[in-house]
Structure 1
Protein backbone atom coordinates (compact mmCIF):
# COMPACT_ATOMS: atom_id res chain seq x y z
CA UNK A 1 0.00 0.00 0.00
CA UNK A 2 1.64 3.18 -1.22
CA UNK A 3 -0.08 5.38 1.36
CA UNK A 4 1.24 3.18 4.17
CA UNK A 5 4.78 3.41 2.82
CA UNK A 6 4.41 7.18 2.46
CA UNK A 7 3.12 7.47 6.02
CA UNK A 8 6.11 5.58 7.36
CA UNK A 9 8.54 7.69 5.32
CA UNK A 10 6.89 10.88 6.53
CA UNK A 11 7.01 9.86 10.20
CA UNK A 12 10.70 8.97 9.98
CA UNK A 13 11.54 12.17 8.08
CA UNK A 14 9.75 14.29 10.68
CA UNK A 15 11.64 12.51 13.45
CA UNK A 16 14.94 13.02 11.63
CA UNK A 17 14.59 16.64 10.53
CA UNK A 18 12.14 18.26 12.97
CA UNK A 19 13.08 16.95 16.41
CA UNK A 20 11.64 17.61 18.87
CA UNK A 21 8.30 16.87 17.21
CA UNK A 22 5.05 15.78 18.85
CA UNK A 23 1.81 14.10 17.90
CA UNK A 24 -1.20 16.00 19.24
CA UNK A 25 -3.59 13.10 19.70
CA UNK A 26 -7.31 13.49 20.27
CA UNK A 27 -7.36 9.67 20.58
CA UNK A 28 -9.43 9.55 17.39
CA UNK A 29 -9.18 6.68 14.92
CA UNK A 30 -6.82 8.79 12.81
CA UNK A 31 -4.60 9.61 15.76
CA UNK A 32 -4.50 5.96 16.78
CA UNK A 33 -3.15 5.16 13.29
CA UNK A 34 -0.45 7.79 13.78
CA UNK A 35 0.26 6.54 17.29
CA UNK A 36 0.75 3.02 15.99
CA UNK A 37 3.05 4.18 13.19
CA UNK A 38 5.18 6.31 15.53
CA UNK A 39 5.54 3.61 18.16
CA UNK A 40 5.89 0.70 15.72
CA UNK A 41 8.70 2.54 13.92
CA UNK A 42 10.29 3.63 17.23
CA UNK A 43 10.46 7.13 15.80
CA UNK A 44 11.03 8.86 19.12
CA UNK A 45 8.20 11.33 18.59
CA UNK A 46 6.36 12.33 21.77
CA UNK A 47 2.59 11.77 21.91
CA UNK A 48 0.30 13.92 24.03
CA UNK A 49 -3.42 14.45 24.45
CA UNK A 50 -5.53 17.27 25.87
CA UNK A 51 -7.69 16.05 28.73
CA UNK A 52 -10.34 18.77 28.68
CA UNK A 53 -12.17 17.45 31.72
CA UNK A 54 -15.21 16.73 29.56
CA UNK A 55 -14.04 13.70 27.56
CA UNK A 56 -16.01 10.45 27.39
CA UNK A 57 -14.71 7.73 29.74
CA UNK A 58 -14.20 5.51 26.69
CA UNK A 59 -11.83 8.10 25.23
CA UNK A 60 -9.70 8.32 28.36
CA UNK A 61 -9.52 4.52 28.56
CA UNK A 62 -7.50 4.56 25.35
CA UNK A 63 -4.57 6.06 27.26
CA UNK A 64 -4.37 2.85 29.28
CA UNK A 65 -4.97 0.74 26.16
CA UNK A 66 -1.99 2.34 24.44
CA UNK A 67 0.22 1.73 27.45
CA UNK A 68 -0.87 -1.92 27.59
CA UNK A 69 -0.40 -2.45 23.84
CA UNK A 70 2.83 -0.52 23.28
CA UNK A 71 4.35 0.10 26.70
CA UNK A 72 4.09 3.85 26.10
CA UNK A 73 2.26 6.34 28.31
CA UNK A 74 0.61 9.20 26.43
CA UNK A 75 1.30 12.52 28.15
CA UNK A 76 -1.75 14.54 29.17
CA UNK A 77 -2.23 18.28 29.41
CA UNK A 78 -5.18 19.75 31.30
CA UNK A 79 -6.82 23.19 31.49
CA UNK A 80 -6.12 25.62 34.28
CA UNK A 81 -8.77 24.78 36.93
CA UNK A 82 -9.11 28.45 37.86
CA UNK A 83 -9.98 29.39 34.28
CA UNK A 84 -12.54 26.57 34.12
CA UNK A 85 -14.11 27.63 37.41
CA UNK A 86 -14.33 31.28 36.42
CA UNK A 87 -15.99 30.36 33.13
CA UNK A 88 -18.54 28.05 34.75
CA UNK A 89 -19.30 30.51 37.55
CA UNK A 90 -19.85 33.31 35.08
CA UNK A 91 -21.77 31.43 32.38
CA UNK A 92 -22.98 28.07 33.74
CA UNK A 93 -22.78 24.50 32.43
CA UNK A 94 -24.97 25.15 29.38
CA UNK A 95 -23.06 28.19 28.10
CA UNK A 96 -21.68 26.40 25.04
CA UNK A 97 -25.19 25.99 23.62
CA UNK A 98 -26.10 29.67 23.99
CA UNK A 99 -23.60 31.28 21.64
CA UNK A 100 -20.69 30.43 19.37
CA UNK A 101 -18.54 32.94 21.26
CA UNK A 102 -19.10 31.17 24.59
CA UNK A 103 -18.56 27.75 23.05
CA UNK A 104 -15.29 28.91 21.52
CA UNK A 105 -14.21 30.46 24.82
CA UNK A 106 -14.79 27.08 26.45
CA UNK A 107 -12.65 25.47 23.73
CA UNK A 108 -9.99 28.11 24.27
CA UNK A 109 -9.76 27.36 27.99
CA UNK A 110 -9.96 23.59 27.70
CA UNK A 111 -7.98 23.06 24.48
CA UNK A 112 -6.10 26.02 23.07
CA UNK A 113 -4.36 27.12 26.24
CA UNK A 114 -3.16 23.59 27.13
CA UNK A 115 -2.10 23.09 23.49
CA UNK A 116 0.18 26.13 23.66
CA UNK A 117 1.81 24.61 26.72
CA UNK A 118 2.21 21.24 25.01
CA UNK A 119 3.81 22.75 21.89
CA UNK A 120 6.24 25.02 23.73
CA UNK A 121 9.82 24.30 22.66
CA UNK A 122 8.81 21.96 19.81
CA UNK A 123 9.80 22.30 16.14
CA UNK A 124 6.82 20.49 14.64
CA UNK A 125 3.49 18.95 15.52
CA UNK A 126 1.57 16.17 13.83
CA UNK A 127 -2.21 15.85 13.59
CA UNK A 128 -4.77 13.41 12.20
CA UNK A 129 -6.61 15.95 10.04
CA UNK A 130 -8.13 14.55 6.83
CA UNK A 131 -9.62 16.45 3.93
CA UNK A 132 -12.86 14.49 3.75
CA UNK A 133 -13.71 15.00 7.43
CA UNK A 134 -15.65 18.22 6.85
CA UNK A 135 -15.96 21.31 4.68
CA UNK A 136 -13.72 23.23 7.09
CA UNK A 137 -10.89 20.76 6.37
CA UNK A 138 -11.36 20.26 2.64
CA UNK A 139 -8.12 22.05 1.73
CA UNK A 140 -5.84 20.79 4.48
CA UNK A 141 -2.32 19.99 3.24
CA UNK A 142 0.12 17.32 4.34
CA UNK A 143 2.63 19.96 5.37
CA UNK A 144 1.80 23.45 6.61
CA UNK A 145 3.30 26.19 8.71
CA UNK A 146 1.47 27.02 11.93
CA UNK A 147 1.85 30.78 12.23
CA UNK A 148 0.11 30.85 15.61
CA UNK A 149 2.69 28.65 17.33
CA UNK A 150 5.56 29.34 14.94
CA UNK A 151 6.39 25.78 13.94
CA UNK A 152 5.88 23.22 11.19
CA UNK A 153 2.66 21.23 11.16
CA UNK A 154 2.17 17.87 9.47
CA UNK A 155 -1.08 16.13 8.57
CA UNK A 156 0.17 12.80 7.16
CA UNK A 157 -3.35 11.40 6.68
CA UNK A 158 -4.70 14.43 4.82
CA UNK A 159 -5.40 12.40 1.68
CA UNK A 160 -6.52 9.21 3.42
CA UNK A 161 -10.12 8.06 3.26
CA UNK A 162 -12.09 6.98 6.29
CA UNK A 163 -12.06 3.41 4.92
CA UNK A 164 -8.25 3.48 4.67
CA UNK A 165 -7.99 4.56 8.29
CA UNK A 166 -10.13 1.64 9.41
CA UNK A 167 -8.31 -0.79 7.13
CA UNK A 168 -5.07 0.17 8.86
CA UNK A 169 -6.61 -0.26 12.31
CA UNK A 170 -7.82 -3.72 11.38
CA UNK A 171 -4.57 -4.78 9.73
CA UNK A 172 -2.35 -3.75 12.65
CA UNK A 173 -4.74 -4.52 15.50
CA UNK A 174 -4.74 -0.91 16.70
CA UNK A 175 -6.90 -0.16 19.76
CA UNK A 176 -9.71 2.34 19.12
CA UNK A 177 -12.55 4.09 20.89
CA UNK A 178 -15.60 1.77 21.21
CA UNK A 179 -17.87 4.78 20.68
CA UNK A 180 -17.16 4.35 16.97
CA UNK A 181 -19.10 1.12 17.15
CA UNK A 182 -22.09 3.07 18.50
CA UNK A 183 -22.51 5.48 15.61
CA UNK A 184 -19.91 8.12 16.48
CA UNK A 185 -17.55 9.13 13.65
CA UNK A 186 -15.78 12.11 15.24
CA UNK A 187 -15.38 12.20 19.01
CA UNK A 188 -14.62 15.24 21.15
CA UNK A 189 -15.92 16.43 24.49
CA UNK A 190 -19.04 14.59 25.64
CA UNK A 191 -21.39 17.63 25.67
CA UNK A 192 -20.29 18.55 22.14
CA UNK A 193 -20.46 15.16 20.45
CA UNK A 194 -23.28 12.90 19.30
CA UNK A 195 -23.59 9.89 16.97
CA UNK A 196 -23.85 10.63 13.25
CA UNK A 197 -26.91 9.78 11.17
CA UNK A 198 -26.56 7.84 7.89
CA UNK A 199 -25.48 10.16 5.08
CA UNK A 200 -24.06 12.87 7.34
CA UNK A 201 -20.42 13.89 7.08
CA UNK A 202 -18.03 12.45 9.69
CA UNK A 203 -17.97 15.62 11.81
CA UNK A 204 -21.70 16.30 11.71
CA UNK A 205 -21.92 15.10 15.29
CA UNK A 206 -19.58 17.83 16.54
CA UNK A 207 -21.28 21.07 17.72
CA UNK A 208 -24.33 19.94 15.75
CA UNK A 209 -26.39 22.96 16.87
CA UNK A 210 -24.08 25.29 14.89
CA UNK A 211 -23.71 25.96 11.18
CA UNK A 212 -21.23 23.55 9.55
CA UNK A 213 -18.85 26.40 8.67
CA UNK A 214 -18.19 27.20 12.36
CA UNK A 215 -17.56 23.68 13.64
CA UNK A 216 -13.93 23.96 14.67
CA UNK A 217 -12.60 24.42 18.18
CA UNK A 218 -9.75 26.71 17.17
CA UNK A 219 -6.87 24.24 17.38
CA UNK A 220 -6.44 24.32 13.63
CA UNK A 221 -7.14 27.92 12.65
CA UNK A 222 -4.85 30.90 12.25
CA UNK A 223 -5.11 34.54 13.33
CA UNK A 224 -7.44 35.28 10.41
CA UNK A 225 -9.93 32.70 11.67
CA UNK A 226 -9.33 30.44 8.67
CA UNK A 227 -7.87 26.96 8.56
CA UNK A 228 -4.09 27.16 8.32
CA UNK A 229 -3.22 25.92 4.87
CA UNK A 230 0.18 27.21 3.81
CA UNK A 231 3.31 25.43 2.56
CA UNK A 232 2.49 22.18 0.85
CA UNK A 233 4.63 19.11 0.30
CA UNK A 234 6.65 16.59 2.26
CA UNK A 235 9.51 17.25 4.67
Structure 2
Protein backbone atom coordinates (compact mmCIF):
# COMPACT_ATOMS: atom_id res chain seq x y z
CA UNK A 1 0.00 0.00 0.00
CA UNK A 2 1.27 3.48 -0.89
CA UNK A 3 2.04 6.03 1.76
CA UNK A 4 0.58 9.54 1.51
CA UNK A 5 1.88 12.81 2.91
CA UNK A 6 -1.69 13.55 4.13
CA UNK A 7 -4.43 11.13 5.17
CA UNK A 8 -6.36 9.80 2.19
CA UNK A 9 -9.82 11.43 1.80
CA UNK A 10 -12.87 9.42 2.82
CA UNK A 11 -14.51 7.42 0.04
CA UNK A 12 -17.72 9.14 -1.14
CA UNK A 13 -20.69 6.79 -1.17
CA UNK A 14 -24.47 6.59 -1.24
CA UNK A 15 -26.92 4.44 0.69
CA UNK A 16 -28.45 1.26 -0.72
CA UNK A 17 -32.09 0.47 -0.09
CA UNK A 18 -32.47 -2.28 2.54
CA UNK A 19 -28.72 -2.80 3.04
CA UNK A 20 -26.09 -1.59 5.48
CA UNK A 21 -23.42 -1.75 2.76
CA UNK A 22 -23.04 1.42 0.70
CA UNK A 23 -22.27 2.10 -2.97
CA UNK A 24 -18.82 3.65 -3.47
CA UNK A 25 -18.93 6.59 -5.89
CA UNK A 26 -16.21 7.44 -8.39
CA UNK A 27 -17.56 10.40 -10.39
CA UNK A 28 -20.80 12.33 -10.86
CA UNK A 29 -22.01 13.34 -14.32
CA UNK A 30 -25.12 15.45 -14.89
CA UNK A 31 -27.17 15.87 -18.07
CA UNK A 32 -28.39 19.37 -18.88
CA UNK A 33 -31.85 20.12 -20.28
CA UNK A 34 -33.17 16.58 -20.81
CA UNK A 35 -36.89 17.45 -20.49
CA UNK A 36 -38.45 19.59 -23.23
CA UNK A 37 -40.43 21.91 -20.95
CA UNK A 38 -37.40 22.57 -18.75
CA UNK A 39 -35.29 23.35 -21.84
CA UNK A 40 -37.95 25.86 -22.91
CA UNK A 41 -38.18 27.47 -19.45
CA UNK A 42 -34.42 27.99 -19.59
CA UNK A 43 -34.73 29.61 -23.03
CA UNK A 44 -33.57 26.77 -25.30
CA UNK A 45 -35.00 24.73 -28.16
CA UNK A 46 -35.21 21.08 -27.00
CA UNK A 47 -35.19 19.82 -30.59
CA UNK A 48 -31.95 21.53 -31.54
CA UNK A 49 -29.31 20.10 -29.20
CA UNK A 50 -27.67 16.77 -28.40
CA UNK A 51 -27.20 16.01 -24.69
CA UNK A 52 -24.50 17.95 -22.87
CA UNK A 53 -22.90 17.21 -19.52
CA UNK A 54 -21.39 18.89 -16.50
CA UNK A 55 -19.91 17.33 -13.38
CA UNK A 56 -20.03 17.56 -9.62
CA UNK A 57 -17.26 16.37 -7.28
CA UNK A 58 -18.05 13.04 -5.64
CA UNK A 59 -17.59 14.57 -2.20
CA UNK A 60 -20.54 16.92 -2.88
CA UNK A 61 -22.83 13.95 -2.15
CA UNK A 62 -25.54 14.31 0.49
CA UNK A 63 -27.67 11.48 1.90
CA UNK A 64 -31.42 11.75 2.16
CA UNK A 65 -32.73 13.05 5.51
CA UNK A 66 -29.77 15.45 5.80
CA UNK A 67 -29.95 18.99 7.14
CA UNK A 68 -27.72 21.24 5.03
CA UNK A 69 -26.72 24.89 5.42
CA UNK A 70 -27.94 27.44 2.91
CA UNK A 71 -24.91 27.79 0.61
CA UNK A 72 -22.94 31.01 0.70
CA UNK A 73 -22.36 32.90 -2.53
CA UNK A 74 -26.01 32.83 -3.62
CA UNK A 75 -29.34 34.48 -2.96
CA UNK A 76 -31.22 32.15 -5.34
CA UNK A 77 -30.72 28.53 -4.25
CA UNK A 78 -32.70 26.10 -6.46
CA UNK A 79 -33.85 22.48 -6.48
CA UNK A 80 -33.73 20.21 -9.55
CA UNK A 81 -35.43 16.81 -9.15
CA UNK A 82 -33.70 14.04 -11.11
CA UNK A 83 -33.51 10.29 -11.64
CA UNK A 84 -29.98 9.12 -10.79
CA UNK A 85 -28.42 5.98 -12.25
CA UNK A 86 -25.44 4.24 -10.64
CA UNK A 87 -23.14 2.22 -12.88
CA UNK A 88 -21.88 -1.21 -11.85
CA UNK A 89 -19.87 -1.69 -15.03
CA UNK A 90 -18.19 0.63 -17.52
CA UNK A 91 -16.88 0.95 -21.02
CA UNK A 92 -16.33 3.20 -24.00
CA UNK A 93 -18.50 3.50 -27.12
CA UNK A 94 -21.28 1.50 -25.49
CA UNK A 95 -24.16 0.70 -27.82
CA UNK A 96 -27.55 2.05 -26.72
CA UNK A 97 -29.02 -1.44 -26.61
CA UNK A 98 -26.20 -2.56 -24.27
CA UNK A 99 -26.27 0.47 -21.97
CA UNK A 100 -28.87 -0.69 -19.44
CA UNK A 101 -26.71 -3.70 -18.60
CA UNK A 102 -24.16 -1.30 -17.06
CA UNK A 103 -26.65 0.01 -14.48
CA UNK A 104 -26.30 -1.18 -10.89
CA UNK A 105 -29.16 0.81 -9.43
CA UNK A 106 -31.46 3.83 -9.48
CA UNK A 107 -32.20 6.62 -6.99
CA UNK A 108 -33.97 9.92 -6.50
CA UNK A 109 -31.62 12.88 -6.77
CA UNK A 110 -31.59 16.64 -6.34
CA UNK A 111 -29.13 18.67 -8.41
CA UNK A 112 -28.86 21.70 -6.12
CA UNK A 113 -27.95 24.89 -7.97
CA UNK A 114 -26.82 28.43 -7.23
CA UNK A 115 -29.12 29.83 -9.95
CA UNK A 116 -27.97 33.45 -9.79
CA UNK A 117 -24.34 32.39 -10.05
CA UNK A 118 -25.20 30.11 -12.98
CA UNK A 119 -26.95 32.99 -14.78
CA UNK A 120 -23.85 35.17 -14.43
CA UNK A 121 -21.64 32.34 -15.74
CA UNK A 122 -23.92 31.76 -18.73
CA UNK A 123 -24.00 35.45 -19.62
CA UNK A 124 -20.19 35.65 -19.45
CA UNK A 125 -19.74 32.28 -21.24
CA UNK A 126 -17.87 30.95 -18.22
CA UNK A 127 -17.89 27.45 -16.68
CA UNK A 128 -20.71 26.40 -14.35
CA UNK A 129 -18.47 24.73 -11.77
CA UNK A 130 -19.18 27.02 -8.83
CA UNK A 131 -22.92 27.16 -9.56
CA UNK A 132 -23.29 23.37 -9.79
CA UNK A 133 -20.34 21.68 -8.09
CA UNK A 134 -20.29 23.34 -4.68
CA UNK A 135 -20.29 21.59 -1.30
CA UNK A 136 -23.37 19.44 -0.56
CA UNK A 137 -24.86 20.07 -4.00
CA UNK A 138 -25.61 16.44 -4.97
CA UNK A 139 -28.45 14.91 -2.95
CA UNK A 140 -29.00 11.20 -3.61
CA UNK A 141 -31.56 8.94 -1.93
CA UNK A 142 -31.02 5.22 -1.30
CA UNK A 143 -30.21 3.24 -4.43
CA UNK A 144 -32.63 0.54 -5.52
CA UNK A 145 -30.74 -2.28 -7.31
CA UNK A 146 -31.51 -2.58 -11.02
CA UNK A 147 -32.63 -6.18 -10.45
CA UNK A 148 -35.91 -4.70 -9.10
CA UNK A 149 -36.64 -3.21 -12.52
CA UNK A 150 -36.35 0.07 -14.38
CA UNK A 151 -38.24 2.95 -12.69
CA UNK A 152 -41.34 4.10 -14.55
CA UNK A 153 -43.94 6.71 -13.78
CA UNK A 154 -43.85 10.12 -12.15
CA UNK A 155 -41.01 12.28 -10.91
CA UNK A 156 -41.87 15.21 -8.66
CA UNK A 157 -40.36 17.74 -6.28
CA UNK A 158 -42.13 19.12 -3.21
CA UNK A 159 -41.05 22.15 -1.19
CA UNK A 160 -42.81 22.34 2.17
CA UNK A 161 -45.29 19.77 0.82
CA UNK A 162 -46.19 21.83 -2.26
CA UNK A 163 -45.49 20.21 -5.64
CA UNK A 164 -43.13 22.42 -7.65
CA UNK A 165 -42.00 19.96 -10.34
CA UNK A 166 -43.85 17.01 -11.83
CA UNK A 167 -43.45 15.02 -15.03
CA UNK A 168 -43.29 11.47 -16.31
CA UNK A 169 -39.92 9.78 -16.73
CA UNK A 170 -40.99 8.88 -20.27
CA UNK A 171 -40.80 12.61 -21.12
CA UNK A 172 -36.99 12.59 -21.18
CA UNK A 173 -35.68 13.83 -24.52
CA UNK A 174 -32.79 11.36 -24.26
CA UNK A 175 -33.78 8.13 -22.45
CA UNK A 176 -31.38 6.72 -19.88
CA UNK A 177 -29.80 4.17 -22.23
CA UNK A 178 -29.16 6.85 -24.85
CA UNK A 179 -27.61 9.15 -22.23
CA UNK A 180 -25.20 6.41 -21.10
CA UNK A 181 -24.29 5.52 -24.67
CA UNK A 182 -23.64 9.15 -25.65
CA UNK A 183 -21.57 9.85 -22.53
CA UNK A 184 -19.46 6.73 -23.16
CA UNK A 185 -18.34 8.34 -26.42
CA UNK A 186 -16.93 11.30 -24.49
CA UNK A 187 -15.32 9.54 -21.49
CA UNK A 188 -14.62 5.96 -20.49
CA UNK A 189 -17.27 5.02 -17.96
CA UNK A 190 -16.38 3.04 -14.82
CA UNK A 191 -18.14 1.20 -11.99
CA UNK A 192 -19.09 3.71 -9.32
CA UNK A 193 -20.01 6.50 -11.74
CA UNK A 194 -23.32 8.27 -11.09
CA UNK A 195 -25.38 10.01 -13.77
CA UNK A 196 -28.02 12.61 -12.95
CA UNK A 197 -30.36 12.31 -15.94
CA UNK A 198 -31.96 15.77 -16.11
CA UNK A 199 -34.79 17.69 -14.46
CA UNK A 200 -38.35 18.56 -15.49
CA UNK A 201 -39.78 22.08 -15.69
CA UNK A 202 -40.59 23.95 -12.50
CA UNK A 203 -37.16 24.40 -10.92
CA UNK A 204 -37.33 26.97 -8.16
CA UNK A 205 -36.01 28.25 -4.85
CA UNK A 206 -35.51 26.57 -1.49
CA UNK A 207 -35.36 28.95 1.45
CA UNK A 208 -33.82 28.58 4.88
CA UNK A 209 -36.01 26.44 7.09
CA UNK A 210 -37.68 24.66 4.19
CA UNK A 211 -37.93 20.94 3.50
CA UNK A 212 -37.43 19.72 -0.07
CA UNK A 213 -38.36 16.20 -1.17
CA UNK A 214 -37.77 14.49 -4.52
CA UNK A 215 -40.07 11.56 -5.29
CA UNK A 216 -40.00 8.98 -8.09
CA UNK A 217 -42.55 6.21 -8.26
CA UNK A 218 -41.07 3.01 -6.77
CA UNK A 219 -37.97 4.63 -5.24
CA UNK A 220 -37.24 5.94 -1.77
CA UNK A 221 -37.37 9.76 -1.70
CA UNK A 222 -34.41 12.14 -1.43
CA UNK A 223 -35.17 14.64 1.34
CA UNK A 224 -33.22 17.61 2.69
CA UNK A 225 -33.92 20.44 5.11
CA UNK A 226 -32.12 23.73 4.51
CA UNK A 227 -30.93 25.53 7.65
TM-score relative to the length of structure 1: 0.27
TM-score relative to the length of structure 2: 0.27
- The structure whose residues are more often strand, as a share, is 2
